[in-house]
Amino acid sequence: MTGTTPRSEPLKVLVYSDDVNTRQQVILALGRRPHPDLPEVAYVEVATEPVVIQHMDAGGIDLVILDGEAVPAGGIGIAKQLKDEIRDCPPVLVLTGRPQDAWLATWSRAEAVVPHPIDPLQLAEAVVDLLRRPATADA
Give the pLDDT of residue 135: 60
Counting residues of the chain whose pLDDT is more than 90, the rounded percentage is 81
Counting residues of the chain whose pLDDT is more than 70, the rounded percentage is 91
CA distance 27 to 44: 10
pLDDT at 116 over 50: yes
Give the pLDDT of residue 7: 65
Query: 60-113 pLDDT, tens per residue?
Result: 999 999 999 999 999 999 999 999 999 999 999 999 988 788 788 788 999 999
pLDDT at 136 over 90: no
pLDDT at 8 over 90: no
Give the pLDDT of residue 104: 81
pLDDT confidence tier of residue 139, bands split at 50, 70 and 90: very low
**For the chain, which residues make up each domain, given as ranges?**
15-132
Mean pLDDT of 17-42: 97
Give 97 or 58, the one with higher predicted confidence.
58
Q: What is the pTM of this model?
A: 0.90
**How is the chain classified by DSSP, letter by letter?**
-TTSPPP-SPEEEEEE-S-HHHHHHHHHHH-S-SSTTS--EEEEEE-SHHHHHHHHHH---SEEEEETT-SSS-HHHHHHHHHHH-TTPPPEEEEESSGGGHHHHHHTT-SEEEESSP-HHHHHHHHHHHHHSPP----
CA distance 135 to 80: 19
Instruction: Reply yes or no on domain 15-132 having CATH 3.40.50.1970.
Output: no
